[in-house]
Amino acid sequence: MYRFADRLAPWLAGLCVLCLVAGLYLGLVVAPADYEQGDSYRIIYIHVPAAWMSMFVYVVMATSSAVFLIWRLKIADMVALASAPIGAAFTAVALLTGSFWGKPMWGTWWIWDARLTSELLLLFLYLGYLALRGALETPQSASKAAAILAIVGVVNIPIIHFSVEWWNTLHQPATITKFDKPSMHISMLRPLLLMVLAFQLLYFHNLMVRVRALILQRENRASWVAELAEKNHV
């Protein structure tokens, strides 16, 4: 597992940088301005991928927590732990960029709208997960308690997704949906999808690096870790 993460990480990093550069260039330079919002809509190229990833990472975290609870796989627990700070960062970016977008377009930085509130709740779930892990003394009980919190919190994900359809909100409905044709011109859509891919790769790269570190930490008494340290003159 350690070797798998070790080998995969640089490839993911390279691909991520490639998509990021292409997506940003196409999105910020090539894509046309919007008919209504002008150039300020371009923050969508950060906002939407970050918001999408904030939910995706949580689903990964909750799934691996469930796997850990049922099968007691240590690696699943590590994936969940490694994902939490990344997910929290994506959520914070989504909230901040949303705020920067809301001020010029809607006329307010923040409103207690169902979409915004449930996304803020997601940030607190990530932070709560990390705090809970830090608060309990023994690693075993911390893993178990945090896994339960992660699974319980997953009910927030459909709420975030459907909030704009179930309730009256200031936030607009989704632009890209599975069933409808996306309500975005193709020249603007392509860079957006590239950016989503780039953020996806960014997450997986980060995950690999973090899981690698967690494995080393947990196995710090194993002989192969000692050999590795020897080889790298640590």
Partner 1 sequence: MTPKRKQRLMMVCLMLCGVGVAVAFGVNAFKQNIMLFHSPSDVAAGAVKPGQPFRVGGMVIDGSVKRSSEDLAVTFELTDHAKNIPVSFTGILPDLFREGQGIVAMGAIDEEGTFIASEVLAKHDENYMPPEVAEALEKAGKMPGTRANFDSKTVQP
By the criterion CB under 8 A, which residues form the site for partner 1?
Answer: 32-37, 41, 44, 66, 69-71, 104-108, 111-114, 148, 151-152, 154-155, 159, 164-170, 172-175, 183-185, 187-188
Q: Which residue lies nearer to partner 1 by CB, 18 or 63?
A: 63
Q: Which residue lies nearer to partner 1 by CB, 101 or 204?
A: 101
Q: Which residue lies nearer to partner 1 by CB, 77 or 205?
A: 77
**In the 8-state DSSP scheme, what is residue 29?**
I
Q: Which residue lies nearer to partner 1 by CB, 36 or 137?
A: 36
Q: How far is the CB of 187 from partner 1 (least distance, A)?
A: 7
Q: Which residue lies nearer to partner 1 by CB, 186 or 234?
A: 186
Local structure of 94: helix, strand or coil: helix
Phi, psi of 177, deg, nearest 5: -130, 165
Q: How far is the CB of 139 from partner 1 (least distance, A)?
A: 19
Q: Which two tokens mark 139?
A: 């690693």
- Residue 64, Cβ neighbours under 10 Å: how many? 22
Q: How far is the CB of 63 from partner 1 (least distance, A)?
A: 11
Q: How far is the CB of 21 from partner 1 (least distance, A)?
A: 22
CA-derived radius of gyration, the chain: 20
Specify whether the backbone of 49 is left (phi greater than 0), alpha (psi in -120 to 50) or beta: alpha
User: Using CA atoms, how far apart are residues 188 and 13, in angstroms rounded to an integer?
Assistant: 25
Q: How far is the CB of 66 from partner 1 (least distance, A)?
A: 5
Q: Which residue lies nearer to partner 1 by CB, 139 or 173?
A: 173
Q: How far is the CB of 182 from partner 1 (least distance, A)?
A: 9
Local structure of 229: helix, strand or coil: helix
Phi, psi of 33, deg, nearest 5: -75, 160
Q: Cβ distance 99 to 110 under 8 Å? A: yes
